[in-house]
């Protein structure tokens, strides 16, 4: 049985792709959290200005 020349390199590359997925997921969660905070802030300011009342 012969192993591929860069077998370990291929396995490390797969781990890197999984890390990239985690990074994208983290960025998405942060972006959605920021949008949510912005919406709440907007609603609070609009309420204080009397726009919603």
pLDDT tens series, the chain, 53 aa: 566 666 777 777 777 777 888 889 999 999 999 999 999 999 999 999 999 87
Joined tokens for residue 27? 């960025």
Q: What is the pLDDT of residue 20?
A: 82
- Number of structural domains found in the chain: 1
Residue that the structure tokens 């890197």 belong to: 16
Q: What is the pLDDT of residue 1?
A: 54
The range of the structural domain enclosing residue 51 comes to 1-53
Q: How many helices (H) and strands (E) does the chain have?
A: 1, 0
**Contact yes or no for 42/48 (Cβ under 8 A):** no
Going from the C-alpha of 14 to that of each of 22, 36, 50, the distances in angstroms are: 13, 33, 54
Q: What is the pLDDT of residue 2?
A: 63
Joined tokens for residue 48? 């204080």
Q: What is the pLDDT of residue 3?
A: 62
């Amino acid at each position: 049985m012969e192993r591929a020349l860069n077998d370990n390199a291929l396995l490390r590359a797969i781990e890197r792709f999984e890390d990239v997925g985690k990074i994208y997921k983290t960025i998405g969660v942060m972006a959605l959290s920021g949008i949510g905070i912005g919406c709440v802030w907007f609603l609070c300011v609009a309420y204080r200005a009397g726009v919603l009342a």
